[in-house]
Amino acid sequence: MKKVIECNYRLLDCGEFEKLEQIGEVIIRRPALQATWKQKLGNDIWKHYHAKFDQAKNIWTNVPDGKLPYFEFNNLTFELRLSPNRQIGIFPEQLINWQWLREVISQATRPLNILNGFAYTGVSTLISSTKGTSLTHIDASSSSVNWAKQNCRLSNLENNNIRWIVDDIITFLSREVKRGSVYDGIILDPPAFGHGKKGAIWKIGRDLPKLMKLVDKLLSNNPEFIILSCHDKNYKHHELQDELIKLQRLKNGKIETIDLTIESETGNNLTAGKCARWKK
């Protein structure tokens, strides 16, 4: 039986290159370039927001006086912040993967060693973290890793086994290969473009094949799962799938490809990424 997901996020509507989201009691209006269609809710609803990111000025124009609510997912708690890059600290299109991860991890019958790369504020890290798992959380941004640690404290998981790494993913994983480290589960959500440590630049088209070669060496003999998602609209399902097909340790099991879609009550659902994932 599927476990019921409890979370305080709702996509109220999207369209005309914007999305209207509710977290707890707070409504946020921000750009959504994928939403090329008409909005379904009227202007009377769209104009009632607590915070808005103005795309023309490239700033948050309305910022609520009080603290933003926490994003709650089951019994985990995440701090939201209105970041200059229009992000808020969670990527709700990953809900479908968070649910899948919980199920895969709760069904595992042994302690798992898990790597979360491009881990941002740690939602997938904390969802995967149980008393029986060891987590390696890696992100090139020290402020994101500190934010993730804060989320860990808010979620009361400080005593779980989580290793926090601020590093460029290619640099860190190359070192892990040399050390002979292996992982039973790997989560990767690379951006199209990003900054590693010490000025290193991440470009998905150039660097993903390099990354996946390292991943091939880092999977244990008996891996449990792998998730490879991305938000780059140029990537097709079959290209993500091909990256997993090349991995020699994924012998049995099944690869599936999915859209990362946030459902809205209006029917204006928002697909904001793609994913290929495998489980034993």
Ligand X SMILES: C[S@@+](CC[C@H](N)C(=O)[O-])C[C@H]1O[C@@H](n2cnc3c(N)ncnc32)[C@H](O)[C@@H]1O
CA-CA-CA-CA torsion sign (71, 189, 231, 227): negative
The residue range among 147-155, 196-204, 238-246, 257-265 that interacts with ligand X, by the rule CB under 6 A, is: 196-204
Task: Tell the residue number behind the tokens 């946030």, with chain if given.
Answer: 262
The residue range among 28-36, 56-64, 138-146, 219-227 that interacts with ligand X, by the rule CB under 6 A, is: 138-146
Q: Of 140, 173, 218, 247, which lies in the binding site for ligand X, with binding defined by CB under 6 A?
A: 140
Q: Where are the beta strands (DSSP E) in the chain?
A: 9-15, 18-23, 26-31, 51-54, 59-62, 71-73, 76-78, 112-117, 133-139, 161-166, 185-188, 193-195, 201-203, 225-230, 254-262, 270-279
Residue 78 found at the interface with ligand X (CB under 6 A)? no
Q: How far is the CB of 201 from ligand X (least distance, A)?
A: 8
Q: How far is the CB of 149 from ligand X (least distance, A)?
A: 14
Kindly identify the residues of this chain, within the stretch 246-275, that bind ligand X according to CB under 6 A.
none
Q: Please identify, using beta-carbon distances, which residue of 15 and 68 lies nearer to ligand X.
A: 68
Q: Please identify, using beta-carbon distances, which residue of 39 and 124 lies nearer to ligand X.
A: 124
Report yes or no: 218 and 136 within 8 Å, Cβ to Cβ.
no
Report yes or no: 12 and 42 within 8 Å, Cβ to Cβ.
no
**C-alpha span between 239 and 258 (Å, rounded):** 12
Return the H-helix or E-strand segment holding 217.
Answer: helix 204-218
Residue 79 found at the interface with ligand X (CB under 6 A)? no
The residue range among 43-51, 52-60, 195-203, 258-266 that interacts with ligand X, by the rule CB under 6 A, is: 195-203
**C-alpha span between 140 and 94 (Å, rounded):** 20
Q: Of 60, 70, 71, 120, which lies in the binding site for ligand X, with binding defined by CB under 6 A?
A: 120
Q: Please identify, using beta-carbon distances, which residue of 21 and 189 lies nearer to ligand X.
A: 189
CA-CA-CA-CA torsion sign (228, 229, 235, 236): positive
**C-alpha span between 8 and 267 (Å, rounded):** 19
Give the type of residue at 223: P
Q: How far is the CB of 46 from ligand X (least distance, A)?
A: 26
Q: Of 196, 225, 270, 278, which lies in the binding site for ligand X, with binding defined by CB under 6 A?
A: 196
Coil, helix or strand for 76? strand
Q: Please identify, using beta-carbon distances, which residue of 64 and 191 lies nearer to ligand X.
A: 191
Kindly identify the residues of this chain, within the stretch 148-187, that bind ligand X according to CB under 6 A.
168-169
Q: What is the DSSP letter of 199?
A: G
Q: How far is the CB of 125 from ligand X (least distance, A)?
A: 9
Q: Please identify, using beta-carbon distances, which residue of 15 and 194 lies nearer to ligand X.
A: 194
Q: How far is the CB of 130 from ligand X (least distance, A)?
A: 19
Q: Of 77, 99, 124, 129, which lies in the binding site for ligand X, with binding defined by CB under 6 A?
A: 124
Which residues sit at the interface with ligand X, rule CB under 6 A?
91, 94, 118-121, 123-124, 139-141, 144, 168-169, 189, 191, 194-196, 200, 202
